[in-house]
Amino acid sequence: MGGGRGGTGLVIATMTLVLLIDSLDASIVQVALPEMSVDLGMSVTDGAFVVVAYLFPLAGLCIPLSRLASDGRVRAMLVLGTVVFTAASVGCAMSGDRGVLIAFRFVQGLGAAMMVSATPAMCTSMLPSERRHMGMAYMNAACCVAIILGPALGGLITGLSEWHWIFLINVPVGVIVVALALRMREVSPSSMSRMPEPMRAAAMFVAVATGMVVLELWTGGLFVWYTAVLAVICILSMAVFLALGRRGTEGERLMDIPLRGNGRYYAITSLFLVNSIIGCGVMYLLPYYLTGSAGYDTLAAGLLLSVATTVSAVFSIPAGSWCRRYGCVLPSNVSLVMRVAFCAMLVVIEPSMGLAFLLMQLVLMGASFGIAGTALPTRMQIHVEEDLRPSSAAVVLFTNYIATALGVAVFALLFKAASPGGMASSVDVMDGSAILEGTHFACLVGTVMTVACLIVSMRVRDPKG
């Protein structure tokens, strides 16, 4: 596979851009949320919906769409997904109402789900075996760069102009992705002609989407009867998903989850989920603290958050070497100790403590994210057999999206518990003390959860060698 249609460089460039705009869009919104909330009269709960609406389709569709893309549909899915994502980005930028913005964010997530789900097939089917490690390296690098640039770029754009422009930067990148995708050669179809287990895929999506909506509605105290109906639908959909999972033959299942009789894998996967929930929840609340309690403007808040994301990227690659040299248990435990420390610092943080205390917390947070982001997924992989590791990798992707959505919802709920009525109020009418109180309580619960994660991590032994 040379430099022509479907060449290695073309495939890697396309994968990199896809993951860049997806990760950038997820991270750039965080720092602009307070300004968006003031402009559109949104509460903190509404702001959570802006984030989570984008994650619904990503979490619910990433696994089935990945299987569908591998059946000779990579290019079609990539082009269609990018067009939908780009058009929805324009819709987000033009939104003058919170309901319209949330709706366009959901459509944006549908397009992103199609785009991102095409990248695993691109890496495994369009790259020669000796170049796949480079494909993975560039994919990881794109995510790290986007996570680093997102807060700073969001703060810069919002501080110098308006929040609407954070969505419009997706347009030129989307045009480039479509142009590159049209030049690629399609992958050879597999033996399957349709999505495996379509009923189970639908059940997964319904369970994820309704579950996230229930959490958000509960957080805002809205539509109690409607929340109960959605909760029932979520439980029934999950039951259908689990029941149908026992029927499919090996190789034709939606996913071969390597969990049967593997308690250690269960434990590490649960550890990864809870750990990610805590990290995403803290990252969601920090912009509100920085702009609402600490008094920083949007640009300064974005630059401060980029400290944590930069440190995270710096530590993520060395963490892989530490796992190879010392095993994954030690790096995992070190990252969890750091997480306990920075969560505990946020429990007592006050604006009067100054910039040095805040920077110390951000550095600890970034180091914890970087080490855990490498060590915990690696521990998941080494607890399964070689032939089941592709399915385990799909579980990592799915768990990551679920944790991002859950982190926002759970920490928004904790915030409300400490500041009743505060999250139902517009951000511009909330005083800094209310935001500080909610942040302290949410991070106190996060500290307790992290201590529990550390205990589990210390008790689970990894296989030797």
- For 205-245, how does the pLDDT look when each residue is reduced to its tens digit (9 = 90+)? 788 778 777 776 666 555 566 777 888 888 888 888 777 76
* Residues 294, 357 contacting (CB under 8 angstroms): no
Higher pLDDT, 430 or 276: 276
* Residues 63, 207 contacting (CB under 8 angstroms): no
State the pLDDT at residue 295.
83
Distance CA 254, CA 270 (A): 21
Q: What is the pTM of this model?
A: 0.71
Distance CA 24, CA 30 (A): 10
Distance CA 288, CA 285 (A): 6
State which H helix or E strand residue 74 sits in. helix 74-94
* Residues 139, 147 contacting (CB under 8 angstroms): no
Nearest to 416 by CA among 450, 408, 13, 339: 408
Region of poorest pLDDT, from 142-151, 340-349, 375-384: 142-151
Average pLDDT of the residues in 406-424: 70
Q: Give me the phi and psi of 43, to 5 degrees please.
A: -85, 175
Residue 446 above 50 pLDDT?
yes
DSSP state at residue 464: P
Residue 341 above 90 pLDDT?
yes
Residue 84 above 90 pLDDT?
yes
Residue 247 above 60 pLDDT?
no
* Residue 409 falls in which region: left (phi positive, over 0), alpha (psi -120 to 50) or beta: alpha
Q: Give me the phi and psi of 295, to 5 degrees please.
A: 85, 15
Region of poorest pLDDT, from 40-54, 154-168, 191-205, 321-335: 191-205
Maximum average pLDDT range among 9-18, 70-79, 129-138, 454-463? 454-463
Residue 429 above 80 pLDDT?
no
State the pLDDT at residue 423.
45
> Does the CA dihedral 126-127-128-132 come out positive or negative?
negative
Q: Would you mind telling me the total number of residues written for the chain in this entry?
A: 465
Average pLDDT of the residues in 29-56: 76
Average pLDDT of the residues in 38-58: 76
Higher pLDDT, 204 or 394: 204
Maximum average pLDDT range among 101-110, 226-235, 372-381? 101-110
State the pLDDT at residue 89.
93
What does the DSSP assignment read for 154-192?
HHHHHHHS-TTHHHHTHHHHHHHHHHHHHHSPPPPP-S-
Average pLDDT of the residues in 184-192: 59
Q: What confidence tier does 134 reach under pLDDT thresholds 50, 70, 90? A: low
Tell how far CA 227 is from the center of its chain.
24
Residue 425 above 50 pLDDT?
no
Residue 86 above 90 pLDDT?
yes
State the pLDDT at residue 426.
45
C-alpha dihedral (265, 269, 271, 273), degrees to nearest 10: -170
Distance CA 404, CA 269 (A): 15
Nearest to 310 by CA among 441, 149, 98: 149
User: For residue 172, with 0-12 CB atoms within 10 Å meaning exposed, 13-18 middle and 19 or more buried, which class applies?
Assistant: exposed
Residue 382 above 90 pLDDT?
no
